[in-house]
Amino acid sequence: MNILLHINDAERFPMLKTNIKYLNKAEFDGKITVVANGGAVKKYYEADEQKFLETLADRVEFIACRNSLAVNHLQAETLPKMIEIVPNGILEVVERQAEGYGYIKV
For residues 16 and 105, is the Cβ–Cβ distance under 8 A? no
- Strand 3-7: give its sheet, edge to edge: 83-86, 60-65, 32-36, 3-7, 102-105
Torsion of CA 76, 82, 4, 9, to 10 degrees: -40
Could you tell me the residue range of the domain that residue 28 belongs to? Answer: 3-105
Write out pLDDT tens, residues 46-103. 999 999 999 999 999 999 999 999 999 999 999 999 999 999 999 999 999 999 999 9
20 by Cβ neighbours in 10 Å (0-12 / 13-18 / 19+) ranks as buried
Domain count, the chain: 1
pLDDT at residue 29, as a whole number: 87
For residues 46 and 79, is the Cβ–Cβ distance under 8 A? no
Domain holding 55: CATH number? 3.40.1260.10
pLDDT at residue 40, as a whole number: 98
- Distance between CA atoms of residues 106 and 104, nearest Å: 6
pLDDT at residue 78, as a whole number: 93
Confidence (pTM): 0.95
The 3-state DSSP class for residue 19 equals helix
